[in-house]
Amino acid sequence: MMNLFRTFRVGISGPPGVGKSTFIEALGTFLCQKDFRVAVLAVDPSSARTGGSILGDVTRMDELTKHKNAFVRGSPSRGTLGGVTRSTTDAIALCETFGYNVILVETVGVGQSETMVEGMTDVFLLLSPPAGGDELQGIKKGIMELVDIIVVNKADGELLPIAKRAAADYKAALHFGTPKNPLWVPQVRICSARTKDNVAEVWKTMNQYWEQMEKEGVMESKRKSQRKAWMWRMVQEELVKRFERNPRVQSTLIEVQREVEEGRLTAGLAADLLMDSFGASQ
Amino acid sequence: MMNLFRTFRVGISGPPGVGKSTFIEALGTFLCQKDFRVAVLAVDPSSARTGGSILGDVTRMDELTKHKNAFVRGSPSRGTLGGVTRSTTDAIALCETFGYNVILVETVGVGQSETMVEGMTDVFLLLSPPAGGDELQGIKKGIMELVDIIVVNKADGELLPIAKRAAADYKAALHFGTPKNPLWVPQVRICSARTKDNVAEVWKTMNQYWEQMEKEGVMESKRKSQRKAWMWRMVQEELVKRFERNPRVQSTLIEVQREVEEGRLTAGLAADLLMDSFGASQ
């Protein structure tokens, strides 16, 4: 059982309108009442491009925001994807240093943000609407290979049978592909964040995941390799930035790129030419 | 309709034992008889690590290898993934220069090879065994988001009803996720490469894809952006190689990496330290 002396990093994603804020508020409040200290971070790489803020979204969590055990904030960063990554990984570390032990990292699901959040958390939850068939196309491609737990939300009233069918569809779809984690079969649950039905059940499933990973001793090794991977991704991004800023590269690039696009130069030769102009200026 | 004056790059993947060689031989021979000139290239990035060869596999295509319109060979490269990529993109270009107009690029499905082959071809086929449920786990995770056409092979005799059910399962599974290509709904077909049943039907579907892309004028623009993307990927790989070879980086790396793994240094600060030691030596 996850306890107050450890930390648990939870990635949460889902399409717009699925009720992410309501779910996070319900789960977060439930955990605060159990004396966990809960931090909610929202990641929005799109703000890097649009300059937009998502604080409006997270401040909708009135009840949770007011709880003494909770800390709720939007993405602390503008700037490049690297900037968002860095400030988010740093924010997770800071929250843990300050004693928060359940870190809920929400992503609005733009671009590569799910992969990013999955790569910095212990467990990855997908929130799904109670829907079937074509409507499930709203679920982003490739996300099925990232999930550890799928939660079909809004499973109350008239939508309950539809939610149950969606859950069955997910279970069938999860049969495709080799498992992401050989120690864990992705689980599907239904809940209603609004009525709070089965929110405790979702937490129980998250705990089963936690216990399984702890039992196998892979929780800490996963975090180690995550940190190492981020270090290398940041190095790579910085190297490309330096390359693009190089004046000789810039003057070669326009023509080389056009020749490659037109098929008069292979990609490999073009890369050689660019590396030559970069090397010559060092 | 794809004609003799154009080229068509076809990526083909599938799990071991699905009958890739038999399928490629059946499709290739069918096309040679229609006066297409067919080149078969096999990509095996694992040979970069194991030093193994896959020529044994492609030379099993006896009938096709002997046809005057066909050119069959294994992966021309050992070395890094970058090396395999480069030699494969170059080989595709060379085959087209020498008049081959259908280029079948087979991948043995190790590591990132499907993503790589999908990124250098016009259409991507997944060959599947006639199976259901748990057996479909043999299909690699993430591949569903790459496919344009799924072909369930071995659809003959007793396996025919099983193949039909697998095809229905795939159709259902394709409902998940936003489409890769807004102009094309991935299609599912059954065929038997051994008896040659429905091989013509598979080619017809490939042609429908071709016509749709041509009609929308996106075939050439897709190739342009593929070439550009490869150029950048090769630049990136070369930059990281130079970085790793740098003596100052090498002397800093061991300690920095350990500190990051142990969580005493954040990934961002570690990247800064490494970039500093790289920069100082330039």
What is the model's pLDDT at position B249? 94
B254-279: average pLDDT: 90
Q: What are phi and psi of A191, to 5 degrees?
A: -155, 170
Cα dihedral sign for B167, B172, B177, B182? positive
CB contact under 8 A, B239 and A243: yes
Contact status of B282 with chain A (Cβ, < 8 Å): yes
* Single-letter amino acid, residue A166: A
For chain A, how big is the Rg over CA atoms in Å? 22
Most B CBs within 10 A among A92, A114, A126, A227, hence the mutation to make, goes to: A227
Q: What value does the mean pLDDT of chain B take?
A: 85
Residue for token pair 């190089």 = A246
Tens digits of residue pLDDT in A191-202 = 999 999 999 999
Phi, psi angles (nearest 5°) of residue A169: -60, -40
β partners of residue A12: A106, A125
Element (H, E) at A127: strand A123-128
pLDDT tens digits along A210-253: 999 999 889 989 999 999 999 998 999 899 999 999 999 999 99
Q: Which residue of A has its CA nearest to B236?
A: A240
Q: Which of B97, B239, B265, B275 has the most A C-beta neighbours within 10 Å, making it the best mutation to test the interface with A?
A: B239
CA A41/CA A19 separation, integer angstroms: 16
| Rounded average pLDDT per 10-residue block, chain A, 282 residues | 81 89 95 94 61 47 84 62 73 90 85 85 94 68 86 96 92 77 93 96 96 91 92 91 93 92 88 87 49
Measured distance CA(A189)–CA(A192) in Å, rounded? 10
Q: SS3 of B145, please?
A: helix
Q: What does the buried/exposed string (b/e) look like for A226-236 if buried means 16 or more CB atoms within 10 Å of the residue's CB?
A: bbbebbbbbbb
List domains and CATH numbers for chain B: 8-216 (3.40.50.300), 228-280 (1.10.287.130)
Residues 31-90 of chain B whose Cβ lies under 8 A from any Cβ of chain A: 86, 89-90
Kindly identify which residue of chain A lies nearest to residue B230, measuring between CA atoms: A267
| Distance in Å from the first CA to the final CA of chain B | 55
Nearest chain B CA: its distance from A145 CA (Å): 6
pTM of the shown model:
0.80
pLDDT at B181 over 80: yes
Minimal Cα distance from B223: which residue of A? A261
